[in-house]
Amino acid sequence: MTVATKPIRVLVGKVGLDGHDRGIKLVARALRDAGMEVIYTGLHQTPEQVVNTAIQEDVKAIGLSVLSGAHNYLFPRVLELLKGHGAEEIVVFGGGIIPDEDVPRLKAAGVRALFTPGKPMNEIVDFVKGLRP
């Protein structure tokens, strides 16, 4: 008898005032097409809303898209809230308009991976698939 493995659960969303969601919707579709369960939170979410939803939905990862320039606040805030809830095992990754000089600081804060515009979608899918224990 074969035991089916549960699909990876991923929350994806937009935090802050950024209203452009085409890219995150494409990511959500690619992850779903790869067999993952995807929860899309929609636009204009606060870090608190994202973290609360991630914990309620028991996700393995949170993928955030930030195009507003607020990445140096939003990513660390999500990580801080996860830690405060004892949920730091939830992996945070993201993408958007993130200057190269900000990437090391975000990764040092705990963002596991960052995907800027133009990255092949399969790189994001492969990254999330690699989170399976």
Please state, rounded to an integer, the average pLDDT across all residues of the chain. Answer: 94
What is the tens place of the pLDDT at every residue in 76-86? 999 999 999 99
DSSP state of 112: -
Nearest CA to 118 out of 17, 26, 14 is that of 26
Domain boundaries, the chain: 9-129
State if pTM tops 0.85: yes
42 has pLDDT over 70: yes
Pairing of the two strands 91-96 and 9-14: unpaired
What does the pLDDT read at residue 71?
Answer: 96
What is the tens place of the pLDDT at every residue in 85-105? 999 999 999 999 999 999 999
Between the alpha carbon of residue 111 and those of residues 7, 105, 107, the distances in Å are 22, 9, 5
Instruction: Answer yes or no: are the C-beta atoms of 47 and 78 closer than 8 Å.
Output: yes
CA distance linking residue 43 with residue 88, whole number of Å? 24
Q: For residue 12, how far is the Cα from the chain centroid?
A: 5
CATH C-level class of 9-129: alpha beta
